[in-house]
Amino acid sequence: METKRIWANFGVENLDRTTKFYTDLGFKPNGHNTNNELRSFLFGDDDFIIHFFVKEQFKWAVNGEMADLNIGNEIIFSLSAESKEEVDQWVTAVKNAGGKIFAEPQEYGKGYFFGFSDPDGHKFNFLYWPK
């Protein structure tokens, strides 16, 4: 057996809000994004897919409750940037799209990053790591 792809699935409160946030950041929709239970976007050169399900559909799929992201974390995805300047540009774009910055831009070893959460509390960071 061999796994061909991996993707992520998140639960969200409001599909339209989620769609606007990721569209405003310039992420490419995966398909038409007209489903009332699911929207998804492509991330990075390899088109990593993140599906965003309405909360009730997500709870059904996992046969349980969702994590409360106000008091804990589930995972953090790191997105690559080509330079420190690009990291700083992403900070502005995330703020303008309605994201919450939880870690301001800062040095990390040889790299530079900042952390943010989307309107539902899913956490990401943009990271520049020189070669």
The ranges assigned to domains in the chain are 1-65, 75-131
Of 25, 7, 31, the C-alpha closest to 92 is 25
d(CA 83, CA 90): 11
CATH top-level class for 75-131?
Answer: alpha beta
Give the CATH fold of the 1-65 domain: 2,3-Dihydroxybiphenyl 1,2-Dioxygenase; domain 1 (3.10.180)
- For residue 46 the two structure tokens come to 């390899």
Per residue in 63-117, pLDDT tens? 999 888 888 888 999 999 999 999 999 999 999 999 999 999 999 999 999 999 9
Is the full-model pTM beyond 0.85? yes
